[in-house]
Amino acid sequence: MKVVGITGGVGSGKSEVLRLLEEKFECKVIRTDDVARDLCEPGQVSYRRIVDAFGTGVLDAEGRLDRPKMAAMVFGDNEKLQLLNQCTHPDVYAWVREHVREWKTDGSCRMIAVEAALMEELKMMGVCDSYWFIYVKPEIRRERLRISRGYSEEKMDAVFASQLDESVFINGCDVLIDNNSDLESVEKQLKSLCKS
C-alpha cells in the first residue's frame, strides 16, 4: 500500500486533489491541520500541552483554545511559535503514524495520502513512500484566492511572503502535479500516478 505526502502553496488546489483521491482512487486522506485541530480540543493531548506551556490566558470563556489570541501571540515571535509547534507537532506525527500503521494492517484502502503545509513536516512523520507537490503558477494562485476566498492584494502579498520559496518544495518532491489548467488534467495525472 502506497503512502504519499502531498503539499502545495495556498491556492494550489490541495483540497481538490485530495477530494479526487478520496472519491475516485480509493484513497484515505489525512489532513494534518484537521488532526491538529482535533488534538487541540479540551481534554486532548495537545490542548493540555498548550495550556501547560502558555497558561489559561489562551483559553476563551468556554475553556477552549482562543485561536485568534494564540495566532496573535505567536505571530512574529519565533520563540513562541517554536514552543507552540513543540506542543502540537509530535502529537500529530504520532497520530498519523498510528493510523497509517492501522490502515496498512487492515487493508481498508489502496492508498493513503498525508497532506501537510510543509515538506519538512511530511518527512518528519517518516511514513511516506513518495512526496507530491501541487504546482500552480503564482498568478493563477492569486486569481483563485481572489475568487474563492476574497483575498485582497495586500493579504495575498503577506501570505506569499510568509511561505517558503517553491524551489524548496520542488527539490524535496519526487512528483510534481501540474494544476495550472483544469481538474480533468489533474485527474489524468492522478490516474497515471495511482497505477504505478
User: Domains of the chain, with CATH numbers?
Assistant: 1-26+110-196 (3.40.50.300), 34-102 (no CATH)
Q: Identify the pLDDT of residue 196.
A: 64
pLDDT at 37: 95
| Structure letter (DSSP) for residue 133 | E
In the structure, what pLDDT confidence band is assigned to residue 22 with cuts at 50, 70 and 90?
very high
Task: Assess whether pLDDT exceeds 80 at residue 164.
Answer: no
Integer Rg of the chain from CA: 18
> So what's the pLDDT on residue 169?
80
What single letter denotes the amino acid at residue 178?
D
Residue type, position 38, single letter: D
For the stretch 33-56, pLDDT in tens is 999 999 999 999 999 999 999 999
Cα distance between residue 77 and residue 84, in whole Å: 11
Q: Which residue has the cell 507537532?
A: 89
The tens digit of pLDDT for each residue in 71-130 reads: 888 887 889 999 999 999 999 999 999 999 999 999 888 899 999 988 889 999 999 999
Alpha-carbon span 31 to 61, nearest angstrom: 28
* Residues 117-129: b if buried by 16+ CB within 10 A, e if exposed: bebebbeebebbe
Pairing of strands 27-31, 2-7: unpaired
Mean pLDDT of 18-40: 95
CB 115 within 8 A of CB 7: yes
How far apart (Å, rounded) are the C-alpha atoms in residues 15 and 62? 31
